A and B are shown apart, each in its own frame.
Chain A
Amino acid sequence: MGSLIRLENVSKHYGKFMALQRVNLEVAEGEVVSVIGPSGSGKSTLIRCINLLEQYDDSGKITVNGTVVRKGADLKNVRANVGMVFQNFNLFPHMTILENVKLAPMRVDEISTEVATKRALTLLDNVGISDQADKYPGQLSGGQQQRVAIARALAMEPKILLFDEPTSALDPEMVGEVLNVIRKLADEGVTMIVVTHEMAFARQVSDRVIFMDAGQIVESGTPTDIFDATREPRTLAFLKNVLEH
């Protein structure tokens, strides 16, 4: 079966510093992959290369659904296929919740206002905040804002969702509501890569867990492989560190 996302030999330089070092990765359709690892290990860089928020070195190659991810005419297709949810939500503060969700479908897919509104309301209903549609992001709690951000990403009907620490900016009591939404999406078979510090969530939801360190994928396996059976010293050190806190 074909991979939806394929990274071949992907490196990323910031000047002399290598944030990614010859990374290879394939993600199959419907697969849920969690990425864990210490701070600065390149987790964000990895997923930001997939929709080209960061340019990766010419030596490597990323394809999404068969399309090479590079600057140019095809980038539009890639971004239409890849939704992203950020740690800090990044909602558009001057637009209502509803407008946030329907902007991209109307502008990119040129869908009519009526259809876009209807679809947006359905999506907001799915994440449990259709009653807030006319409010502005600033009037919502962090958890609510992140659920809106997920709805906004889903509005483009992407094949893949990328999450970059979606719960790290939230107060603890709001983490659950966001994770539940993501869990639901996982159950529905949405392909996703989730960078997270929530180990319990990673164990529970993921088909595969990737451990990164120093710009490299150190190991990759089922949650059991990584959390219970790893022999890799760096993974052990990381897990020990995380579980102690």
Chain B
Amino acid sequence: MYFQKLILKFVLILMSLATYLAPISAASRDENVLIVGANIGNVPWEFQDTAGELIGFEIDLVNEVAKRLNREIEIINIPFNGLFSAVQSSRIDIAISSITITEQRLTSVSFAQPYYDSDQSLTIRSDSNITSVNDLQDEVVAVDTGSTGDIWASENQQQYGFKEIRRYEGIAPAALDLQIGRVAGYISDIPAMQYYTKDKPELKVVERIRTGGSYSMMFRKDDELALSVNEIITTLKQEGLVNELHNKWFGVLAEESTSTAKVTAMPGVKAGLLLNFMDTFLNKAVFVETLPMLLLGLTTTLKLGLASIVIGLFFGLLLALNRLYAPAIARVIAKVYIDVFRSIPLLVLLIVIFYALPFVGISLSPFTAAATALIIVSSAYTAEIFRSGIEAIPKGQFEASQALGLSFAHMMKDVILPQATRIVIPPLTNNSINVIKDTALASVVAMPDLLKQATQAQAIAANPTPLIAAAGIYLLVLLPMVLAVSHLEKKYSKRNQ
């Protein structure tokens, strides 16, 4: 019965996911409004000024394009690696965010002609003596998840001997970790980093990494809009407007040979097939290619989850016993702890632990930070579960134990906890499921967990299959636990009748 409900739920989720991502949503909105997705904060391309106004090279450009198309424009903020599925599903018409045109992306999306030739760059702390990527042997390097820098660093990890590649969601957290010293270098788009470090003397761009690559606007595959926009960009280049924007944002005009000045062809369309549902969401080739990455992520997720669950159980029990039986002060402390950490969102706690504690000299690795946050919160929940379990044991059990002369420890161990355990196993298993689900939040501290691996894979392949696969893997791991809980609940409720 429960099982059927669960399957039904899963099917419903899949269906809503499909409608959410499928092109039909385009029909339900105002045709005249051009919807543009951008990773706001990506200087100097699209970011907010102090008044909250959206500004930047690409903002100016896309505004001009909309004007020429005679359409209204609405710009929405979408993280970089969410832009791919957003155009594929027609949730947005155009994606901007200094997106590099790559062969692989062209199999799933379309681009207009490029308007900026870029390279990657290495940014370091000004006080370090690193001068190039050759100095990064056995060092941790930062990249943006699924970006060109990520692709380059992954391909060259062996050659340069990077100890680890840490993946961030945007410039700000990566730059913060660079300043703290958790990473030795940050590989990212050169224009963005030059702009970003302009007013930050503590950071320095020391090397251009010649990856080539040009930026353009991204569209759903074979969208006719791409053709119209491409023509408008041709006109804008001929009018010299694109290069004016270059001058406005970088203080110099681009050279005549660059794609900022010169009209170029629209990037070739690969495998002219329109992708159907299967190719988009359940692409076998992408699945096979990314599965090893996902399994690596699963290992991290399970390690993190299990460590947090086991240690959280231990501390939770300790807390519960303190909360119930310790002297007044310890009891109050336990209560405050339990209440506070059940009220703080895990994500907030995680960010505080990872990004704020370094300022008081405590710098934890992503794994330790994530595990600490999960344990802190999980033990608070576990404590409440244990407490209610212990309180559900009739008073007579305590009195009989005391009358027999059992010590407190023996009373707990032999009489109370074995009975409480039966009561708390279903809620504890539920809590464990939540802990494993919450490990996904560890992506924000650059932990390569299952979700992180999946978002990275989908950005590189420009295809949502890895995300669907990750959902499937979570389901495979958690569904048996969910079923076990309902089984246990049924069993105990029967026994108690």
A interface residues (Cβ-Cβ under 8 A, vs B): 51, 53, 76, 79-80, 82-84, 86, 88, 90-94, 103-104, 107-108, 149, 152-153, 156
Contacts and interface: CB of A to CB of B under 8 A. Distances in A.
Contact of A86 (B400, B410, B419): B400
Contacts of A107: 406-407, 410, 414
A80 B405 CA distance: 6
B397 A92 contact: yes
Per DSSP, are chain A's interface residues mostly helix, strand or loop, or mixed? mixed
A80 B404 CA distance: 7
A79 B410 CA distance: 15
> How big is chain B's contact interface, by range?
10 to 19
Given A86-B400, A88-B396, A103-B414, A94 B419 contact: yes
A86 B404 contact: no
24 contacts: A53-B399, A76-B405, A80-B405, A83-B403, A84-B400, A86-B396, A86-B400, A90-B394, A90-B396, A90-B397, A90-B400, A91-B400, A92-B400, A103-B406, A103-B414, A104-B404, A104-B405, A107-B406, A107-B410, A107-B414, A108-B406, A153-B403, A153-B404, A156-B404
A74 to B, nearest CB: 12
Per DSSP, are chain B's interface residues mostly helix, strand or loop, or mixed? helix
A84 B414 CA distance: 19
Which of A79, A90, A91 gathers the greatest number of chain B CB atoms within 10 Å? A90
Interface string B406-419: 11001000110011
Given A79-B405, A83-B403, 19 more contacts: A76-B407, A79-B404, A90-B396, A90-B399, A90-B400, A92-B397, A92-B419, A94-B419, A94-B422, A103-B406, A103-B414, A104-B404, A104-B405, A104-B406, A107-B406, A108-B405, A108-B406, A153-B404, A156-B404
A118 B469 CA distance: 61
Interface in B412-431: 414-415, 418-419, 422
Which of B396, B397, B403, B410 gathers the greatest number of chain A CB atoms within 10 Å? B403
B403 A51 contact: yes
A193 B449 CA distance: 66
Nearest to A107: B410
Contacts of B403: 51, 53, 79, 82-84, 153
Nearest to B413: A107
Contacts of A103: 404, 406, 414-415
B228 interface: no
A94 B418 contact: yes
B404 to A, nearest CB: 4
A205 to B, nearest CB: 22
